[in-house]
Amino acid sequence: MKYAKKSPWILHYDGSSCNGCDIEVLACLNPLFDIERFGAINTGNPKHADILLITGAINEQNISVVKQLYEQMPNPKAVVAVGVCAATGGIFKDCYNMIGGVGEAIPVDVYVPGCASRPEAIIDGVVKALDKIK
Amino acid sequence: MRALILTLRILGILILAPAAGGLLTGLDRVVSARMQRRKGPPILQPFYDVMKLARKQSTTVSSMTRYFVTLSMCFNIFTVLLFGLGLDLMLCVFAFTLACVFFVLSGYSSNSPFSFVGTERELVQIMCYEPMVLIVAFGYYQVSGSFNVGDAFRMGSPAVMRLPFIFIGLLYVLSVKLRKSPFDLSMSHHGHQEIVKGVITELTGICLAMVEVSHWFETVFALGLVYLFFVYASPASWAAALALCLAAFLMETLIDNAFARVKWKLALQASWIVIFVTGGVNLLLLNL
Amino acid sequence: MPTILPLLGVPLVFAVFTFFARTQKAFARTVRAAAVCVAAASLLCVAAHYGDVYSADLSAYPRIKTVMLAIEVAMSAYLIYIGAARRHFLLSLFSAAQIGAFVWFEAAYGHSIRVKEAVTVDRLSLIMIAIVGVIGGLICVYAVEYMKDFHRHHPEYKDRRPMFFTVLMVFLAAMFGLVVSNDLSFMLFFWEVTSLCSFLLIGYTRTPEAEKNAFLAVVINTFGGLCFTVGIVLLAVYENILDLNGLIRLNPDAPIVVAAVFLIACAGLTKAAQLPFSGWLLGAMAAPTPTSAMLHSSTMVKAGVYVIIRLAPLLGRNAAGVSMTLVGGVTFFATAVLAVGQSDAKKILAYSTISNLGLIVACAGINTAESLWAAVMLIVFHAIAKSLLFLAVGSTEYQLGSRNVEDMDGLFQISPALTTFLAVGIAGMFVAPFGMLISKWAAMKAFVDSGNVPVVLMLAFGSSVTLFFWTKWLGKLIANAHRTAPTNYVMRGDEKVSMYSLAALVVVVCLAHPLISSGFIAPYIEGAMLTPFASPIASRTTTVIILMLCMLFIIPIVLLPLYTRRRVKRTSVYMSGENTGDNRSFRGGMGRVRPVELRNWYMPSLLREKRLLAAGGGVCALIVLGGFFVAMGGAFL
C-alpha cells in the first residue's frame, strides 16, 4: 500500500475534552501547517477515512459511537489518540461518567502527547500512523 | 486498416481522457490551495487517492450500489468515447444523462440518510443544468448544420461567434455540473464537507475510486462542450481552444473559492432564469 | 374486407359472450379467448395489408349509415336523458346540439356527398390496429384476475363485471373502427362510442366520486364530439368533402378548411386530455386500474392524437397548426412540472400521459416529416411503456396496500418481479437507449429545424423535469429499505403473462424501431406528405443506440458473477455513529430511539398543484380561444 501513505484521509472525532486539542487539529489545516501537503484530507466520514483521529476522552455516552465509527471504517485503518485526555482520560478521568482513554474503546496505534497537543506533533502522529496502514 | 485506426483512437481516448481529467482535478486542488496561501498537495494527488482507494477494503450497505456505480462509470466513459470519436452530440448528452441517472440510483440504493439527501440535491442539480446542455446541443446543431461533433472542425468560424449567450449560459451551469461552490449541494470535493459527503457517503474502496474516475471523465466531457465553442477549420484554433478550456476550468476554481454555498431553491431558480434568458435570446437571434 | 371485418366482429361477438358470463371461470375463459382472437385478428390484418393501402367502397350498402345513425341517436338520447336526470345539463345540451346538428346534416346533405372509400387501411392505421389489438388484449387478460381481486378488496361495490368486460370489448371494436374509417361520419360514430364507453368504465363503481368523474369525462368528450360534428358539417357544406383522404389534399390555407380542421383538432384535444380539457383524465384515475390502462395508454387518448396526426398535413403555419403546437408545448411542460409534486403513482402516470400526448400534439402541429415520424413513434413507445406501468402499479397497489411512491421503497424485497416491471416501464419512459427518448430526440430535432424557439425551450426544460420525477420514483423502487409485506397478495398467471409480455415488448420494440420506422412510418409519411422520406435517426446513430441497450444488459451480466464471488463486507449505514445497528433507527437526542424515514422531494413550496393547473389551463384556454377566433374570423368575416 505505498499509495496509502500518500493519501491519508482523516476522520476527526472529539470526545470528552476541553476542545483545546480539537482546535489544534483544525490548526493543522490552516496555511501555516497545511496538512494537505501530504495529501491528507479531513473527510468527516468513517467510510472514506484511513485514520481515526480522536481528541478527548471516552465516556459512557460516546463509547458506542466511537466503536461504531471504527467499525464502519474499511481496512487498513489506524487510530491516533491526540492529547492527554485521549490517552488516559486526563483531567476528566475521575468524573462520574468517564471510562478513560481511547484505548478503552478501540485499539490505538499512535498516542500524541500534549495538553493541548501542538499541530506539529499531531502531523507527526499522523505520519507515524501511516506506517501502521502499510 | 480502418478498424485498426478506430481501435487506436479509442485506446488514445481511454488513456488521455482520464489522464487529463485527473491532472485537471489535481491542478484544481493545487490552485485552490495557492488561492488560500497554502502549498497544497502534489499535482498527481488524485491519482494517488484513486490508487489507494482501489486497493482498500470495500464495504457496502447494499448489494446493488456497486452495479450502479460501475454502470455510471461505464456510461461516462462511453460518453467521452462518443464525443472523442466525433459522433452525434445528442447521443453524448443522452449517454451522459444515463450515467448521471445511474449515479443518482447508486445514492438511492444505499438508503442512507446522508446520501439520500445528497441524491435528491443531485437530482435538483441535474434539473438545473440539463436544459442548458440540451440547448447547447440545439445551438451547435443550428450553427454547424449537424449534431456531429466532428463537423466542428470543418466550420468556417468558431461557434461562439454565433452562440455567445449560450456560451455564457454553459459557463454558468458548468459550476453546477462540476459541483463547484456555490453549487456543491449534492456532494463536495476534497476537503469540503456538505451533508457529510452527500451521494457518495456510503461508498468505500473501489466504488469510491470508480466515482472519482467517472468524475474525471465528466470533467473532460464538460470541458469538451466548451471546446466545441472555439474550434473551427483553422488548425491554430484547435490548440487555442484547449487553452481556453483550461482558462474556463481555472475560472471555475476561482468561483469555487470565491462563493458561499447557496440553497437548492436559489440554485434551481437562478440556473433556470439564466438558461431561459441566455438560451432563449440566443436561439431567437439564430432564428430571426 | 375479410381482414377488416373481424376487427370489429370478434370483439363484438365476445362482448355478447361476456355479457352473459356469470362465473369467474366463464369470465376467464371468454376474456382470454377474446384477447387471443383480437390480437390474432389485428396481427393478421397487419400482415395482410402490409404491402398495400387497402380501401373499401361501402356506398353500395347505404343501410350501414342508417344503422349507425340510429345507434348514434340512441346513444345521444341516453346521454341527454342521464344528463337531465342527474342534473348535468351541460351534458344534455352538448349532446342534443351534437345529435341535432348531425341529424340535420345527414338529412340535408348526407346523401349528396358520395364517399368513394369509406374504409382505408394505411400503415398508420396498421400501427394503431397492432397497438389496440395486442396491448388492448393484454390489458383485458390482466383485467380478469384484477377485477376478481378488486371485488374481494372492495366488497362495498356492486359486482358488475359482465357489463365491465362487455364495455371493454365494445371499446376495442370502436377503436378498430375509428382507425380504419376514412369516411368522417363513420369516424364520428366510433368517436362517440368511445366517449360513451369511457363514461361507463369510469363510473363503474357508482360511488359519488366515480359518478362525478364519469360525468366530467363525458361532458368534456361530448363537447369534443360537438366540435367534431360542426367541423364535419363545415367541410361537407362548404367543400363538399366527407373523407379524410380528400380532406388532407385540400389547400391548408383556405379559411374554411382552417376553421373545420381547427374544430376537429379541438375534438382531438379533448380526447387527448390536453390542458384546458385534461380534468377528465385525472379524474379517471379513480377507476379500476385496467380502465386507466386501457383509456390512457393504448386507446381513448390515442384516438385523440390519432385524429390530430391524421390532420397534420393541414396544420403547420396556419391558425389551427400554431394553436395546436403551442397547446401541445405548454401542456408538455406544465404537466411535467405538475408530476413532480405528486406522490400518488397513478397521478404521476396521469400527468406524464398528458405530458407525452402534449408532445405528440405539438409534433403533429408543426407538420414536418420528421415531427410526424416522432409523433407516431411516441404513440407506439408510449402505449407499451405506459400500459406496463399502469398494470404494474395496479398489482403493486394490491401488494403494498397503497400506491404511494413513498411506500415502494421496500418493494424489491417483497416482489422483485413487480419492481422489475415498474423499473422497465419507467426506464422505457425516459432513459437513453429506450424508445421514448429516441422519439423525443427526433421531436427536438424537428422543432429546432422548424425554428420554433418557444417550443424548443419548453422541450428542453420539460425534459429535465421529466427526468427528475421519473428518477426519484425509480430511486424509491431500488431503495433498500426493510419492510415486510403488508398483504398476502400473490400475482396470478394472467397478470404475469400480460406484464411479462409488455416488459418484453418495451425492449423488443426498441430494438426493432428501425424496422417499424422503415416498414410502417416512412411509407405512411411518404403517402401523407407526397415526398420521399428518410428516418431522422441516422443508421450510425441507431447502431450506437443498440450498442447502449446491449451495454445495459451485458455489463450487469458480466459483473454479476464477479461481484457475487468477491463478497464484500456489509457495514451499517452511517448515521453519525448513532445507528442502532439495523439501519432502521438511530439514537436521537435524550437517548430516545427514533426511526429513520426517508422521503422524496415534492417541492410543495414551489409547486402548488391547483395554481399551476389553473395557470397552465388558462394559458392553453387562451391559445385555443385565440385560435378559434382567428380560424372562425378568417372563415366567416
Cβ-contact B116, B107 below 8 angstroms:
yes
* A48 interface with C at CB cutoff 8 Å: no
Cell of C613: 393547473
Domain count, chain A: 1
Residues in chain C with CB shorter than 8 Å from the CB of A105 are: none
Nearest to B69 by CA among B104, B103, B118: B103
Separation of alpha carbons C126 and B164, rounded Å: 47
User: Across all residues in chain C, what is the average pLDDT?
Assistant: 88
* A45 interface with B at CB cutoff 8 Å: yes
For residue B64, give every residue at least 6 positions away whose Cβ sits within 8 Å of its Cβ, in sequence order, or none.
Answer: B109, C478, C480
Query: Residues A5-31: what's their mean pLDDT?
Result: 88
The whole-angstrom distance between C568's CA and the closest CA on chain A is 11
Q: Cβ atoms within 10 A of the Cβ of C567, count?
A: 10
Residues in chain B with CB shorter than 8 Å from the CB of A36 are: 29, 33, 38-41, 190-191
Picking from B45, B58, B201, the nearest residue to A74 by CB comes out as B58
What is the per-residue pLDDT across B92-111, written as a single tens digit (0 to 9) for each?
Answer: 999 999 999 999 999 998 88
Q: What DSSP designation does C297 have?
A: I
* B51 interface with A at CB cutoff 8 Å: yes
Q: Which of A38, A47, A133 to mutate to test the interface with B (most CBs of B within 10 A)?
A: A47
* A50 interface with B at CB cutoff 8 Å: yes
Strand, helix or coil at C179? helix
Sort B145 into a burial class: Cβ within 10 Å, 0-12 / 13-18 / 19+.
exposed
Separation of alpha carbons B275 and B281, rounded Å: 10
Strand, helix or coil at A113? coil
Separation of alpha carbons C427 and C437, rounded Å: 10
Cell of C407: 411506500
CA angle in degrees (0–180, nearest 5) for C339-C344-C348: 30
The whole-angstrom distance between A115's CA and the closest CA on chain B is 26
State what percent of residues in chain C have pLDDT above 90.
33
The confidence score (pLDDT) of residue B31 equals 93
* B63 interface with A at CB cutoff 8 Å: no
Sort B247 into a burial class: Cβ within 10 Å, 0-12 / 13-18 / 19+.
exposed
Cell of C379: 404513440
ipTM computed for the complex:
0.93
Rounded alpha-carbon distances, angstroms, from residue C9 to B185, C122, C142: 61, 20, 22
Chain B from 98 to 157: CB within 8 A of any C CB: 98, 101, 104-105, 107-114, 116, 119-120, 123-124, 126-127, 130-132, 134-135, 138, 141-142, 147
* B191 interface with A at CB cutoff 8 Å: yes
Query: Residues C461-488: what's their mean pLDDT?
Result: 84
Please answer yes or no on whether A7 and B49 come within 8 Å at the CB atom: yes
* A97 interface with C at CB cutoff 8 Å: no
In chain A, DSSP assigns E strands to: 9-14, 41-42, 51-55, 58-59, 78-82, 98-100, 110-112
Cβ-contact C261, C311 below 8 angstroms:
yes
For residue B127, give every residue at least 6 positions away whose Cβ sits within 8 Å of its Cβ, in sequence order, or none.
Answer: B268, C464, C465, C467, C468
The confidence score (pLDDT) of residue C400 equals 84
The confidence score (pLDDT) of residue C485 equals 66
* B42 interface with A at CB cutoff 8 Å: yes
For residue B141, the enclosing domain spans: 2-287
Query: H or E element: which one contains C353?
Result: helix C345-366
Chain B from 31 to 90: CB within 8 A of any C CB: 57-64, 66-67, 70-71, 74-75, 78, 82, 87-88, 90
Residue at grid coordinates 425554428 = C451
For the cut 70, the answer to whether the pLDDT of residue C222 exceeds it is yes
Separation of alpha carbons C619 and C358, rounded Å: 14
Cβ-contact C435, B87 below 8 angstroms:
no
Chain A / chain B CB contacts < 8 angstroms: 80
The confidence score (pLDDT) of residue B57 equals 85
Q: What DSSP designation does C135 have?
A: I
Separation of alpha carbons C424 and B95, rounded Å: 17
- Torsion angle of C-alpha atoms B149, B151, B156, B161, degrees rounded to 10: -20
What is the per-residue pLDDT across A100-113, written as a single tens digit (0 to 9) for each?
Answer: 889 888 999 999 99
Residue at grid coordinates 466532428 = B150
For residue B281, give every residue at least 6 positions away whose Cβ sits within 8 Å of its Cβ, in sequence order, or none.
Answer: B165
Q: Which of A11, A65, A77 to mutate to test the interface with C (most CBs of C within 10 A)?
A: A65
Chains near B (3 or more Cβ pairs under 8 Å): A, C
Separation of alpha carbons C71 and C69, rounded Å: 5
Cβ-contact C495, C145 below 8 angstroms:
yes
Whether this model's pTM surpasses 0.95: no
The confidence score (pLDDT) of residue C166 equals 92
- Residue C493: pLDDT band with limits 50, 70, 90: confident
Separation of alpha carbons C566 and B74, rounded Å: 20
> Crossing angle of helices C345-366/C369-400, nearest 10°?
170
The whole-angstrom distance between C562's CA and the closest CA on chain B is 11
Nearest CA in chain C to B127: C464
* A121 interface with B at CB cutoff 8 Å: no
Query: H or E element: which one contains C56?
Result: strand C54-56
**Largest distance between two CA atoms of chain C:** 88
Q: φ, ψ for residue C329 (rounded to 5)?
A: -65, -50
Please answer yes or no on whether C577 and A65 come within 8 Å at the CB atom: yes
Separation of alpha carbons A85 and A93, rounded Å: 8
3-state SS, one letter per residue, for B248-287: HHHHHHHHHHHCCCCCHHHHHHHHHHHHHHHHHHHHHHHH
For residue C442, give every residue at least 6 positions away whose Cβ sits within 8 Å of its Cβ, in sequence order, or none.
Answer: C370, C371, C373, C374, C377, C536, C537
For the cut 90, the answer to whether the pLDDT of residue C635 exceeds it is no
What is the per-residue pLDDT across C590-615, written as a single tens digit (0 to 9) for each?
Answer: 878 888 888 888 888 888 888 888 99
Residues in chain C with CB shorter than 8 Å from the CB of A76 are: none
Query: Residues C499-507: what's their mean pLDDT?
Result: 90
Strand, helix or coil at A15? coil
Picking from B36, B55, B204, the nearest residue to A47 by CB comes out as B204
For the cut 60, the answer to whether the pLDDT of residue A1 exceeds it is no
Nearest CA in chain C to B135: C460
Please answer yes or no on whether B196 and A45 come within 8 Å at the CB atom: yes
* Runs of H (alpha helix) within C235-299: 244-247, 255-271, 279-283, 289-293
* C543 interface with B at CB cutoff 8 Å: no
Q: What DSSP designation does C433 have?
A: T
Separation of alpha carbons B75 and B79, rounded Å: 6
For residue B174, give every residue at least 6 positions away whose Cβ sits within 8 Å of its Cβ, in sequence order, or none.
Answer: B222, B226, B248, B252
Residues in chain C with CB shorter than 8 Å from the CB of A46 are: 574, 577
State what percent of residues in chain C have pLDDT above 70.
100
3-state SS, one letter per residue, for B31-59: HHHHHCCCCCCCCCHHHHHHHHHHHCCCE
Cβ-contact C235, C247 below 8 angstroms:
yes
The confidence score (pLDDT) of residue B169 equals 94
Domain count, chain B: 1
Cβ-contact C323, C384 below 8 angstroms:
no
Please answer yes or no on whether C464 and B134 come within 8 Å at the CB atom: yes
Picking from C437, C472, C563, the nearest residue to B123 by CB comes out as C472
State what percent of residues in chain A have pLDDT above 90.
31
Rounded alpha-carbon distances, angstroms, from residue A17 to A14, A20, C27, C155: 7, 7, 75, 65
Picking from B57, B190, B196, the nearest residue to A75 by CB comes out as B57
Size of chain B, expressed as the number of residues it contains: 288
What is the per-residue pLDDT across B112-149, written as a single tens digit (0 to 9) for each?
Answer: 889 999 999 999 999 999 999 999 999 999 988 888 88
Picking from A13, A47, A66, the nearest residue to C574 by CB comes out as A47
Please answer yes or no on whether C448 and B138 come within 8 Å at the CB atom: yes
C48 HSE (CA, 13 A, CB side)? 17
Q: Cβ atoms within 10 A of the Cβ of B157, count?
A: 12
Picking from C478, C538, C551, the nearest residue to B105 by CB comes out as C478
The whole-angstrom distance between A134's CA and the closest CA on chain C is 20
Q: Which residues pair with A55 in a beta bridge?
A: A14, A82
* Runs of H (alpha helix) within B111-181: 113-144, 164-177
Chain B / chain C CB contacts < 8 angstroms: 170
Strand, helix or coil at B100? helix
pLDDT top residue among C526 and A134: C526
For the cut 60, the answer to whether the pLDDT of residue B68 exceeds it is yes
3-state SS, one letter per residue, for C543-604: HHHHHHHHHHHHHHHHHHHHHHHCCCEECCCCCCCCECCCCCEEECHHHCEEECCCCCCCCC
The confidence score (pLDDT) of residue C128 equals 92
Size of chain C, expressed as the number of residues it contains: 637
Cell of A35: 496538512
Chain A / chain C CB contacts < 8 angstroms: 22
Separation of alpha carbons A86 and A89, rounded Å: 6
Please answer yes or no on whether B70 and C474 come within 8 Å at the CB atom: no
Domain CATH number, residue A39: 3.40.50.12280
Q: Which of C464, C559, C571 to mutate to test the interface with B (most CBs of B within 10 A)?
A: C464
Please answer yes or no on whether B59 and A44 come within 8 Å at the CB atom: no
* C555 interface with B at CB cutoff 8 Å: yes
What is the per-residue pLDDT across B199-247, written as a single tens digit (0 to 9) for each?
Answer: 888 888 888 999 999 999 999 999 999 999 999 888 888 889 999 999 9
Query: H or E element: which one contains B10?
Result: helix B2-35
* B181 interface with C at CB cutoff 8 Å: no
What is the per-residue pLDDT across C282-339, written as a single tens digit (0 to 9) for each?
Answer: 888 888 888 888 888 888 889 999 999 999 888 888 888 999 999 999 999 999 999 9
Peptide bond into A76 cis (omega under 30): yes
